[in-house]
Every structure is written in structure tokens, then in C-alpha cells.
Amino acid sequence: MSGARLPRLGLLLGWLLLLALGGTWLGRGLNVEEDLRRFLPDPRTPAQVLLVDELGEGPGSRLLLLALDGAPPARLAEASLALRAALETAPEIELASNGEDRGLDAVPEHLLPYRYLLSPALRAQALDRHYLAQALEQRLQDLGSPVADLVEPLLPSDPTLETLALAEAWQPPQAPNRQYGVWFDRAGRQALLMVQTRAAGFDSAGQQAAVAAIQAAFARVREGLGEGPAPRLELSGPGAFGVAIRDRTEREMRWIGTADTVGLLLLLALAYRRWSMPLLGALPLASGGLAGLGAVALLFPGVHGITLAFGFTLIGVAQDYPIHFFSHLRPGQSPRASVRALWPTLVTGVASTCIAYATFLFSGVEGLRQLAVFTIVGLAVAAASTRWLLPRLVTPARRDPARSAPLARLWRWIERLPRPRAALGVLALLALAAVALAPGGFWQNDLSRLTPVPPAELERDARLRAELGAPDVRYMLMLQDVDAEAVLQASERLLPVLEQARADGLVEGYDLAARYLPSQASQRQRQARLPAPEVLRAELDAALAGQPFQDDAFGPFLADVEAARSGAPLQPSDLAGTPLQLAVGGLLLEGQGQATALVSLSGVGDVQALAARTGAHGAQLLDLKQASESLVAQWRLRLLAALGAAAVLLAAAVWWALRTPARVLRVLAPMGLSTLLILAVLRLCGVELNLFHLVSLILAAGLGLDYALFFDHAGDDRDDQLRTLHAVIVCSLTTLLVFSLLALSSIPVLRAIGSTVALGVLFNFVLALLVARRPARAEAA
Amino acid sequence: MAHRPIPSRRPEALLALLLALVATAAPLAAAELDPEPILRGLARPAPSRTPFVELRGSAMLKQPLRVQGEYRREADGRLVRQGTSPYAETTTLGSGEAVIERAGRAPRRIALAQVPELAAVRAGFGALLAGDRELLLRTYDVHASGQRERWTLRLVPRDPRLAAGLRQIELHGRGSELRCVESQPARGELQRTLMAGAAAQAAGVEDPAALAALCRDPAA
């Protein structure tokens, strides 16, 4: 005995060391991607392309909405000003706005002369003596008014105040109410800000950093406010939701994981009465998981977060491998002999499951290919380590489950149960009818339903969005042509149509690049209307006659107009590095030989009418929700096709292993019927199925296959049946424990996985017992 | 290019002063020797009105612009500056914004947060009229000089950000009558507003030196 202990300890330590090394290597080198694009099929329609773009880097997905409340408006306004100033310097934040009128700062200095090409005010108005005289009269009154300090520095270069007209025109199209100079909600209780993060919407680490930066800045602002009621900060928007979801998922996973670990340890200790079993039982799954991850890391540039989640769900079946082995240990038989007897059955289960997953390799979706590699390698390594490593670590058993009195009583009770045949057929038909006829949609394609954002927060987001006039996240208009100039011209033709649509109440607001940057053609037209220097000088002199202004007060104005008149029209590339780049960049996308102008909409009323009217001018309505749903449906279609092939391959593999049709039927029927029953229960409960249900159904089927295979393997031998019963009871209890806890989660994704698998374990256990198990021979004493 | 940063904003100061417009007169505790009786004497129950003559100088103008009209403090606490000559213009200061109305034009609304000097200068004496000494002393260091019947109050902004745009305000008066406000921006020319009796005396006076004398020397 003591001679065997030393190599055993060495092997155990070696194995643990290997796992630790592998874990460290992966922890350092593994590149986990959060970009949803990697997991979706290739986009096909323009809407899908745009959606995938938007998901990744679009300005909509980078928008965070901030609301300050809980203090008097004046104090909130002060906090809003301080917060915007603080955020301006934060490296995580690209742009923060709160409606603060920043006067000259709104127009970048080197673009200032261009105001005469950009401002809509001069579209029809010439810079003649009448117009100038009128302007000078107003400016004189401005100088005598309380806003003199604000206006005076502008006057020498800008007597018509074109800068202010431009800043006003560039305000958000649906600018919110203002109090104390900053945005407030209509009720006047919340100060509002909009923040654009530098990180993409689905870069959850980047979003987390941005949210943390905002919260830190807010904490400093609140401290700096001095005595009085402290304002509260509310954050909303895709990024904020993502961070909140991540935090919540992590929190829930922490308690679920703790409860699972404790429960599993207790269960295994109770089942085997040996302290070493829980530890040893965890080794194959841990090895499988690490090996699967390693394989994906070697074969693919990065592992997607969803691959990890799905993958670890699917290889959960490997937790059963050591349990089957442990339950078949008995005194008088070496562990190695036990595992050898079990191996053909185990390998049948593993091999047929792996063959089934191999179909994912040909699905054409990168995420599914990763999943296939992960599960196949993971399951194979878990099975192999159960077969070749575990028996060397386990000491021979002192107890045989077949000798357990309670188990024997249970078994006798089960023996007396009727063996349904026809009843199962009826049950299958009923389940099929329920699946087909239950009311409600079959599939849930709406990705947002999977995010556990509480309805109250979604409502708040919608309200803030409406208050801020933030763009609709679902509908957009799109114009496409060969280059930026062409789409800008098309946008300008679309403008009156949009304005009419707004007047008619089809839409509350819209925004497009042409609002900031007119086409070159329009800019040239305006240049042509600007007077030559000597003409302007004469007109200005005439206008100045009789006014109290100094004769040479407006020299800089003459210079600016001449700069605008003689310069090259502004191009999109000239805006680089200015705040305008953000506004225009998000709405004007330039690609190879093609440019796209987007029209963001807010407060969309009648979509169809809007699409019809703008369609006549070459604009195409994009429904991003429909596009995302079509992408999900496409994904599911590929998955279902792969699953169909997988089912056939699995049946073939089982057939090849078992050879007799009756056995094949006994093994496959429980699995098939369970799947049908799970679907029926879910449908009757009004659940709409999503991808996570599908993946869970695959796991449930894998578990069921193993249960049935082991009952079949036990044959008609009473002792073997008792040991198998022990194993399957422990397996199903552990799985049930893990997944019922998941089913209790508040997060829809976890709940979907948990409820589906928990139901699957129940059905598969009962059906395997009733169908796959053979009637035993007379009780051996 | 005449581009310079908009003067720094100091919302606290102007808010304090605005609040003072609405605040009821607080009982004054004895503190500094001189300013107290003057401040007490200046407080007026709303509504109240007083004529003004304002002289606005600028490097761009050949001579200062002269605007005449009256200041009114309404019962609801708003301060109205109504210009009648040389053109009609009404500015209403209330709940955080100034509304400027001119004949034949849409009203212009400007947040006071953007032009703290606007509130600090124009509503400075409004705070005096409301008699909210506490808010006034929080925003300015107040120094008094002269005699009871010919006094000068010097208000120096406490906040460095406000001080960056406004060096000081001098108020000249007689007894309980505020007669002139002189505000000295950090850059640019001194701006002078004659009020009450001084405004009446300024009628027909064109000479800048004479107007300055009217402002500074009420006895003259």
C-alpha cells in the first residue's frame, strides 16, 4: 500500500501543477473578445452591415446619457458645468455636452472664416449695405444691453454675429430645455448631459473604464460643491447597461458558484463517504476546460466571451464521467479494472457527442467553430483523464453501492413500476401538439430581451433619450453614392423633404452630416455670392455712415470674408481634430468607392409614410432591430442545420456501437422524448426560445444519452444496475443542483440555461430509468 | 482675429445675487461699522423703480453710448431693466436667465451662467435693494467710505474667477439713495450708470467729465 502511495501522490501533484501552469498560461495569453461581431454570421444586407458597424463602433452605441437630480436646479446646473469640465479632460471620454453655450469655442478657430460658407443664414442673404447697416444697428444696441460683455469681443470680426448663428444651427436638432444655461428635463428636476466614450459600445472593459471615470469625476464634483443637498448621478445607455449587466452577472455567478461548490462537495462526500472523491472528481472537468480553451487559443486569434459561456455549459456533461467511474468501484476489483469495464460505454457517449459537435465546424460561423473545437477537445481530454489518470489516483473501494440497503429498497420500488410503451407514444404526441399549438412566438430573436436591464431602467433610458432628443436606436435613413460630395448633395436635396415630414409630425427630429458640412457645390455657390474686398469695403463704409462706430473697427471682418471667399471649400477631412469631426464622422461614412450618409431620427411617428416620402429621394429606411433579428435568425438557422446533421451522426454512432436496433431505440428514445417534453413545458409556460435554450437542449440531450447508455450497459445484472442507478442518481443530483440554482438567477440568459437543463435532467433521468434500463434477472442474494 | 476666450463663468456669485433679488430682507446683525446703516437704508420693499442713465464705452465706438430708462424690481423678485432711449429694449432678469426683448424681434434668452458679470454688475444693486446682506457679503468684500450723506461702497469680488473679469464695483449714494454704479472690468473701460436723482440731473448733460462728476460727487 505505502509503496503505491508515493507515485500516487506524485501523479496528483504533477497533474495539479500541470493544471496550474496551463491556467496561468491561458490567464496571461488568452485574448477574450467581447466584440459581438465575431460571434455573428457575416452580415449580408446593408442594414446588417450597418448594424454590425453600429454594434462595434457606431456613435449610437458609444453614447451615455447622464442625469443629475436630488438637489435644487441651481445646484444641479453648477454640478453639470463642473462635471462637463472634468469630463473634458478624461482620456476615456471623447465628448461631453450639457447644452452649455460655449460661444466662440463651438467653432474651431481655424474654421472661423468658413462661417460665411457654412452658415445657413447667408444662403439667401447678400452682404450688402442694407443688411450690414441693419446688423450694425443691432450690434450697437447689443453694446448698450446687458450682454455687451458677451458680444463685444466678437464684433470686430463678426458684425453680423454669424458665429453665434452657426453655433445655434449646430445645436442638437432636438435640443432639450435649458435652465441656468444647461440642459434640463421638461419637469426641471434633472440636469442632463450626453457623453460619448472613446471605447466602442461592446468593448465592455473600455465602457467599464469610461463609466468609472464618470463616476470618479462626479464624486470630485460633488465634493467641490460645498454644503447643501448632494446631487445624485444616473447613468444610462448601452455601455452603462453593459457594465451593469456584467457586474450583476458576476455578482450572481459568485453566489451561485459558491452555493454550487459547497453543494457539490457535500453531495459527493455523502455519496462516496471519502474526502478525496470531490477533489478527484473535479480534475477531469478542469483538465477538459483548460485543454479546450488552450486548443481554441492556439487555433483562433481570440476566444469570444460567448464561446466561453456556451462551451463551459456544454462540457458540464464531463462532470458525470468520474461519477460513473466512482459509482462502479467496489471492493475486490481494482479501480483500473472498473474503469476498463466502463470504458466502452463511456467512449460511446463521448465519441458520439464529439462527432455531433463536429458538425459545428462546418456551420460557417466563427463562434460555432470555436465552440466545436472547445467542446470536442474538452470532452475528449476529460474522458481520457478519467480513463487513464484517475484510476491511478483512486484507492480501491471499501464499499460497494450495490450493497447499500436504501438503494436496494429504491431499486425494488423502481422494479415494480410499470414499463410504459404505448403511454410514452401518447405522451410524445401530446408534447408535440403542445409544442406546435401553444400560443406565443416560437423563437425570440430580439437580442435585447436577453439583457437583464430592468424595465424601469429601460423606461428611464427611453425617457432620457426623448428629453435629450437622442437619436432613435431602431430607425435610420441611409443615402449611398460614389463619394462624400455626392451623398452630401443628395442629403441637401433630402433636407426640405425631412423638414416637411417634421412639420407633418412624421418625425420629431433628424440629424445629418449636411447640417454641419454643406456640399462643395453649395459652398461654391455661397462663395460666388460673397462680395470682393473692395466691394465689401464700400458697402461697409456706406453702412457705417452715421453710426457711432469707429471707421476702422471692422478690419478683421473684411479679412475673414476674403479668406472664406478665396479659400478651398471645406471637405470632411478638414474637420479632423475638431468637435465637428464627431458630429460629421458618425453620420458620414466613407469607404472604398462608396460613401454613406446616415440620417438619424428621433421621435419617429409614422415609419411607413416617412420611408415612402424619403424613398422617392433615394433614401433607404434602415430598421436596425429587424436587421439584428434577421442576423440572429440566420445564426439559428445555421445552428439548426448543424444540429440536424449532428442528430443523424449521433444516431449512426450509437448504432455502430450497439449494433441491435432494439438497444439503439432504448438508448435514443429517452433523449428524444425528453427534448420534446422540455420544449413542450417551455412553450406551455409561454417561453420564447433563444439561442441559449438551444445550446442547453444540446447539453440536456448529451446528459440523457449518457444516462441511457449506462443503464443499457448495466444489462440485466442486478448489481450493475444498482451501481448504475447510484451513478445516475449522483450525476443527476449534481447537475440538477447546479442548473436549478442557475434557473433561480434574475438574468434571463442564465435562467434560460438553468431551467432548460434542469428540466432535461429530470426527464432524462426518469425516462432512462423507465425505458433504457432492462428488466433485471431474479434478485441475486 | 478678435478671438479671445469668453470671460470665465462664476455661477455661484451670480446665483447668490439672483437669490438676493428674490429673498426677503433679512434682519441685519451688527458687524462692520460703516456699511451696515447704508445697506439697511438702501433696502426697498418690492415693487420699486428707479430711473437710470447708462454710459457704455467701447474701443469700437467714437463716443460712449448713452442709454436711458428705468430699473424696476417686481413684486415677484424679478429685476427689469427697461431702456426707453435711444431705442426701446426690455431686459428681464429672473430664474437663471435674462430675456432681452426689442421691438420687432423675437425675444433673446441668455443663461446668466454664461455672463456672470452681467448678473454681478446689473443685479449687484438689486441685491442691495432686496437687503440681503448675507448674500452680498458672501460674494463681495464690502468697504464703505465717506459720510452718511455722501458715501461710497466698494464691492470687490471674493471669487478669483469672477475677479478675473471684474475688478470692482463702486456704488455712490446719499443717505438711502443709490445714485451711481461704476463697474471696472479687469480689461476695458469703466462703465458708469447714473441712477435716481443723479439720472434726473444728467438730463441734458453731455460732457463726460460732467457726468463723471455727477456720479462721484452727489453734492455737486
Residues of A in Cβ contact (< 8 Å) with B81: 146
pLDDT at residue B19 tops 50: no
pLDDT at residue B3 tops 50: no
pLDDT at residue A59 tops 70: no
Quickly state the pLDDT bin for B125 (edges 50, 70, 90): low
Q: Do residue B89 and residue A141 have CB atoms under 8 angstroms apart?
A: yes
Kindly state whether B3 is in contact with chain A, defined as any CB-CB distance less than 8 angstroms: yes
pLDDT, tens only, A567-592: 999 998 888 777 777 778 778 888 77
The DSSP code sequence of A362-431 is GSS-HHHHHHHHHHHHHHHHHHHIIIIIHHHHSPPPS--GGG-HHHHHHHHHHHHS---SHHHHHHHHHH
pLDDT at residue B11 tops 50: no
Cβ–Cβ under 8 Å, residues B101 and B90? yes
Q: Do residue B96 and residue A179 have CB atoms under 8 angstroms apart?
A: yes
The secondary structure element, H or E, covering residue A621 is strand A620-623
How far is A61 from B65, CA to CA, in rounded Å?
A: 53
Looking at A539-548, A732-741, B21-30, B137-146, which range is the least confident one?
B21-30
How far is A767 from A759, CA to CA, in rounded Å?
A: 12
How far is A631 from A40, CA to CA, in rounded Å?
A: 7
Residue B181 backbone phi and psi in degrees, to 5:
-120, 125
Q: In the structure grid, which three cell numbers stand for residue A716, read together?
A: 440485466
Q: What is the CA radius of gyration of chain B?
A: 17
Quickly state the pLDDT bin for A643 (edges 50, 70, 90): confident
Q: Do residue A77 and residue B59 have CB atoms under 8 angstroms apart?
A: no
Q: Minimal Cα distance from A559: which residue of B?
A: B1
Quickly state the pLDDT bin for B41 (edges 50, 70, 90): confident
Quickly state the pLDDT bin for A350 (edges 50, 70, 90): very high
pLDDT in the model for residue A340: 93
The secondary structure element, H or E, covering residue A148 is helix A148-151
How far is A97 from A209, CA to CA, in rounded Å?
A: 19
* CB-closest option in B60, B110, B165 to A147: B110
Q: How far is A99 from chain B (nearest CA, A)?
A: 11
Sign of CA dihedral A629, A630, A633, A638: negative
pLDDT in the model for residue A780: 43
Give percent of chain B with pLDDT exceeding 90. 3
Quickly state the pLDDT bin for B118 (edges 50, 70, 90): low
* CB-closest option in A145, A182, A549 to B61: A549
Q: In the structure grid, which three cell numbers stand for residue A125, read together?
A: 442673404
Quickly state the pLDDT bin for A36 (edges 50, 70, 90): low
Q: Which residue has the cell 456720479?
A: B215
Q: What is the CA radius of gyration of chain A?
A: 35
**Greater pLDDT, B143 or B21:** B143
Summarize the confidence of residues A684-713 as an average pLDDT: 88
Kindly state whether B161 is in contact with chain A, defined as any CB-CB distance less than 8 angstroms: no
Q: Do residue B81 and residue A560 have CB atoms under 8 angstroms apart?
A: no
Quickly state the pLDDT bin for A672 (edges 50, 70, 90): very high
Q: Could you write out the three-class secondary structure of chain B?
A: CCCCCCCCCCHHHHHHHHHHHHCCCCCCCCCCCCHHHHHHHHCCCCCEEEEEEEEECCCCECCCEEEEEEEEECCCCCEEEEEEECCCEEEEEECCEEEEEECCCCCEEEEHHHCHHHHHHHCHHHHHHHCCHHHHHHHEEEEEEEECCEEEEEEEECCHHHHCCEEEEEEEEECCEEEEEEEEECCCCCEEEEEHHHHHHCCCCCCHHHHHHHHHCCCC
pLDDT in the model for residue B209: 84
Q: Minimal Cα distance from B92: which residue of A?
A: A146
pLDDT in the model for residue B31: 35
Kindly state whether B117 is in contact with chain A, defined as any CB-CB distance less than 8 angstroms: yes
* CB-closest option in A140, A150, A154 to B65: A140
Quickly state the pLDDT bin for B113 (edges 50, 70, 90): low
Residues of A in Cβ contact (< 8 Å) with B15: 74, 78, 180
**Greater pLDDT, A4 or A308:** A308
Q: How far is B143 from chain A (nearest CA, A)?
A: 26
pLDDT in the model for residue B216: 81
pLDDT in the model for residue A258: 84
* CB-closest option in A78, A146, A157 to B12: A78
* CB-closest option in A103, A149, A556 to B2: A556
Q: Do residue B2 and residue A147 have CB atoms under 8 angstroms apart?
A: no
Q: Do residue B122 and residue A144 have CB atoms under 8 angstroms apart?
A: no
Residues of A in Cβ contact (< 8 Å) with B97: 178-181
Kindly state whether B89 is in contact with chain A, defined as any CB-CB distance less than 8 angstroms: yes
**Greater pLDDT, A540 or B202:** A540
Give percent of chain A with pLDDT exceeding 90. 33
Instruction: Report chain B's mean pLDDT, rounded to a whole number.
Output: 75
Instruction: Name the pairing type of β-strands A303-304 and A32-33.
Output: parallel
Q: Minimal Cα distance from B65: which residue of A?
A: A144
Q: Do residue B96 and residue A78 have CB atoms under 8 angstroms apart?
A: no
pLDDT at residue B15 tops 50: no
How far is A147 from B127, CA to CA, in rounded Å?
A: 19
Residues of A in Cβ contact (< 8 Å) with B61: 143, 548-550
Kindly state whether A150 is in contact with chain B, defined as any CB-CB distance less than 8 angstroms: yes
Cβ–Cβ under 8 Å, residues B151 and B38? yes
Q: Do residue A181 and residue B54 have CB atoms under 8 angstroms apart?
A: no
Quickly state the pLDDT bin for A728 (edges 50, 70, 90): very high
Q: What angle do CA A705, A707, A712 make, to 5 degrees?
A: 90
pLDDT in the model for residue B12: 46
Q: Minimal Cα distance from A153: which residue of B?
A: B2
Give, to the nearest 10 degrees, the angle between helix A366-384 and helix A624-658. 30
- Which of B14, B58, B99 to mutate to probe the A interface, most A CBs <10 Å? B58
Cβ–Cβ under 8 Å, residues B130 and B75? no
Question: How many CA atoms within 13 Å lie on the side-chain side of A416?
Answer: 5
- Amino acid letter, A330: R
pLDDT, tens only, A160-202: 988 888 877 777 666 677 777 788 888 889 999 988 888 877 6
Instruction: Name the pairing type of β-strands A177-179 and A303-304.
Output: unpaired
pLDDT, tens only, B186-218: 887 888 889 888 888 888 888 888 888 888 864
pLDDT in the model for residue A377: 96
Q: What angle do CA A720, A723, A725 make, to 5 degrees?
A: 105
Kindly state whether A560 is in contact with chain B, defined as any CB-CB distance less than 8 angstroms: yes
In this prediction the ipTM stands at 0.78
pLDDT in the model for residue A39: 67
Chain center to CA of B44: 15
Kindly state whether A563 is in contact with chain B, defined as any CB-CB distance less than 8 angstroms: no
Instruction: Report chain A's mean pLDDT, rounded to a whole number.
Output: 86
Q: Minimal Cα distance from B187: which residue of A?
A: A149
- Amino acid letter, B48: S
pLDDT in the model for residue A171: 73
Summarize the confidence of residues A516-545 as an average pLDDT: 92
**Greater pLDDT, A519 or A59:** A519
